[in-house]
Amino acid sequence: MPILRIAVAKPLRTTFDYLPPLDCDDASIAKLQPGTRIEVPFGRAQLVGILVNRAPESEVNQTKLKRATRIIDPISLLPKPLFELCLWASQYYAHPIGEVLTLAFPPLLRKGVETNAPHNAIKLTPEGRLAPQGILRSPKQAALIERLQRHEATRSALKAEGFSSSIIKALIDKGLAIPCRIEDSEFSPSESDPQPRLNSQQQFAVAQLSQHAGFKASLLYGITGSGKTEVYLQTIANTIASGAQAMVLVPEIALTPQTAARFQGRFGACVGVLHSGLTETQRAREWERARTGKLQVLLGTRSALFTPFQNLGLIVVDEEHDSAYKQQDGFRYHARDLAVKRAQIEQCPIILGSATPSLETISNVNIGRFEQYTLNTRAKAASLPSWQIIDVRQQSLEAGLSQTLIDACHHTLGKGEQALLFLNRRGFAHTLLCHDCGWVAECDNCDSRMVIHKRHNRLRCHHCQAQKPLPKTCPSCHSNHWQGVGYGTERAELALQSLFPHTPIHRIDSDTVGSASQLDHVLDAINANQTGCLILGTQMLAKGHDLAKVTLVGIVDTDALLFSSDFRAEERLGQLLTQVSGRSGRGDRPGTVMLQTHHPDAEIFHQVIHQDYRETASSLLHARHQTGLPPFGQIVMVHADSKDPSEAERFLNSARHTLTSSLPQNHVLIGPLPAPLSKRAGKFRYQLTWLAPHEKNLHRFVHSIADTLTRLPHKSELSWAIDIDPHDFL
């Protein structure tokens, strides 16, 4: 008796065997493809399961076998390559198969909804198309057939042409026509923006990237303003011309209406966008358009990676170094890495673009696994910015700004130009300190200090949801002599307003700019400014937004990154400095970057300033090589947290025991150690770090470890997770 092996969207690392539904004959069972959605009874619930494979018989006790309720999809909606990718990812990241496969479906379809969007149109059946003239006695019906011979049409269009719904129904009842769906976009083609001329580097890159049809991974290394996007656009145009589809991934923060408009302006209605603001129905609609080949370009963030395509011919991952591609909880996949895997499975080219590529990608270029194309001429800039390090030791600072930087701002504003101040900390001040006794406001649920937010007059924890009003008096000594320590963007904004009373100041952080479209708004206002303004912002500003009038960039404080315990801190600092400095000096004016620091001699600063990013990267890579850290080795991190102060540590200790016995000599286990943020949202956090040399079979190890961990006795309030290739140690 044939058996269906089905995965369900639960954190269970197995598939479940089911008997086929009763109304299903052997021939149709034999035709079922992996990825088919099948409704099954599971425990006491009815779930949408996903077929993983078929088997002649089951090892499960016959009496336990249940019968699947119904085959939802007559044919699988997941193309083979995508199914294969999910399987691979489930293995590699040791994540339950059902939870991975479910990501390949939009939320609407996970609930078992039929894929077919509501029918809004009519087309002829094969019989209808071949129907000889005069077979119908009704002239109206014959006219409709003739009309439909030319083209399928929407019901509303037909109604406008004088065909009533009873005529339509008559044809459908006779089996000559059937309802179908026509997407709005298919009948509204629009004018497309012209293709700008490319410089010779861009031309070369487009030619090389378009040449190859099979798998080929390429780094597009293009400094800020060198026109990476135009290379994507023209390569995509070639892909479309060859009849294939393209998938473009961008970091969440970069998926603004402006970005979408650039793609839509070029390719019109055949562009689909998957952004977080879509309703479930809209999301399902775009998914279906990609799957059935009705769109040629899909623009989306991390999760768009799992969209099915009819004929995928190109993948683009923009800002490939961005850590937003790594999912930080649940299924902790890295969309850039999986995108490369997908390109390999789909046998299509992939472009990874960045001005500051990740060390992983640079290393892949070095060993010849990836090609590299370079764009190093800025379209509108005379020269690269000049750097100045400001040693702030012993200097008196006003609002965290040195006099040198303040003077430079005045000078820039005096010329009617713009200055951008980069401060990677939001809120007012990062610590509330009692000046009389030294008491500091800490979060009750986390091992961290609460940040002062002046506008709401509250203390907020940036690691959990906790917040409370600012205390009037010190709980320890009842003094009211408070001091705010440190500068966040909110405080810097206030200080700047008194320092520059007549200058517009735009503050850009996640407290002032909640969505991508709001960001677009502020950026428009900045670009429209003619008389000079100050821009104050966090991380959000580092990305390649176009700020044409900025000639001065001030980096207020990045010293914290110099001492981070995280092994990627230096890489991130290098990328941040390079990206932020790229904001300076477009147009015909050269830019200046001023860096304030208490550590003017730090190696990384001088590397970034005096060397090309690639040289900085190669010395960072050298250090990684010495220590066996990625990309020269692999890290597996086992996290555990619990409300009980010692439970997580105890659990990881027993995890370590089971690991030690089965691990080869050259693998290293560190910990369990308290996480750098040792308490978060009321839970005590520990982690066990596992350093492994590169080997193909690591995922087998990890898989069996995950299995043993599941069986390890633990209190119900303890939760644990495995993070393959973790992005940081937090």
Partner DNA sequence: AGCACGCCGACT
Partner DNA sequence: GTCGGCGTGCTC
**Binding track over 14-33 against DNA, x by CB under 7 A:** x-xxx---------------
How many whole angstroms separate alpha carbon 630 and alpha carbon 358? 11
Looking at 86-94, 107-115, 470-478, 503-511, which segment touches Zn ion (CB under 5 A)?
A: 470-478
Binding of DNA at residue 713 (CB under 7 A)? yes
Query: How far is CA 531 from each of CA 262, 412, 589, rounded to the nearest angstrom?
Result: 28, 11, 16
Binding of DNA at residue 12 (CB under 7 A)? yes
Show Cβ contacts of residue 555 under 8 Å, excluding neighbours closer than 6 positions: 422, 577, 580, 593, 594, 595, 596
Binding of Zn ion at residue 382 (CB under 5 A)? no
Minimum distance, C-beta of residue 447 to Zn ion, in the bound complex (Å):
9
Is 474 part of any known ligand binding site? yes
Binding of DNA at residue 64 (CB under 7 A)? yes
Task: Name the 3-class secondary structure at 332.
Answer: coil
**Binding track over 438-457 against Zn ion, x by CB under 5 A:** -x---x-xx-----------
Query: How far is CA 445 from each of CA 456, 460, 499, rounded to the nearest angstrom?
Result: 21, 12, 38
Binding partner selected for residue 434 from DNA, Zn ion, none, CB under the kind-specific 5 to 8 Å limit = Zn ion
Per DSSP, 398 falls in state B
Binding partner selected for residue 18 from Zn ion, DNA, none, CB under the kind-specific 5 to 8 Å limit = DNA
Is 477 part of any known ligand binding site? yes
Neighbours of 260 (CB within 10 A): 17
Residues contacting DNA: total by CB under 7 A: 22
Nearer to Zn ion, 66 or 435 (CB): 435
How many whole angstroms separate alpha carbon 7 and alpha carbon 327? 22
- Tell me the helix, strand and coil percentages in the chain, rounded to 5: 35, 25, 40
> Which residue intervals of 275-402 are DSSP H helices?
280-291, 335-346, 359-366
Q: How far apart are the first and last CA of the chain?
A: 50
* Chain centroid offset of residue 17 CA: 34
Binding partner selected for residue 479 from Zn ion, DNA, none, CB under the kind-specific 5 to 8 Å limit = Zn ion
How many whole angstroms separate alpha carbon 499 and alpha carbon 398? 9
**Strands of 668-680's sheet, edge to edge?**
668-680, 683-693, 633-642, 719-724
- Among 408, 434, 451, 541, the residue binding Zn ion under the rule CB under 5 A is 434
Binding partner selected for residue 461 from DNA, Zn ion, none, CB under the kind-specific 5 to 8 Å limit = Zn ion
Minimum distance, C-beta of residue 98 to DNA, in the bound complex (Å):
11
How many whole angstroms separate alpha carbon 104 and alpha carbon 287? 9
Is 461 part of any known ligand binding site? yes
Binding of DNA at residue 651 (CB under 7 A)? no
Binding of Zn ion at residue 437 (CB under 5 A)? yes
Neighbours of 614 (CB within 10 A): 14
Binding of DNA at residue 46 (CB under 7 A)? no
Binding partner selected for residue 715 from DNA, Zn ion, none, CB under the kind-specific 5 to 8 Å limit = DNA
Binding of DNA at residue 56 (CB under 7 A)? no
Binding partner selected for residue 10 from Zn ion, DNA, none, CB under the kind-specific 5 to 8 Å limit = DNA
The values of phi and psi at residue 309, to 5°, are: -130, 150
Binding partner selected for residue 46 from Zn ion, DNA, none, CB under the kind-specific 5 to 8 Å limit = none
Is 446 part of any known ligand binding site? yes
Looking at 1-9, 116-124, 472-480, 524-532, which segment touches Zn ion (CB under 5 A)?
A: 472-480
- Its sign, for the CA torsion 440, 446, 450, 451, is positive
- Among 43, 134, 368, 664, the residue binding DNA under the rule CB under 7 A is 43
**Which residues of this chain interact with Zn ion, rule CB under 5 A?**
434, 436-437, 439, 443, 445-446, 461, 463-464, 466, 474, 476-477, 479
**Which residues of this chain interact with DNA, rule CB under 7 A?**
10-12, 14, 16-18, 40-45, 58, 60, 64-66, 713, 715-716, 719
Q: Which residues are annotated as a binding site for Zn(2+)?
A: 434, 437, 443, 446, 461, 464, 474, 477
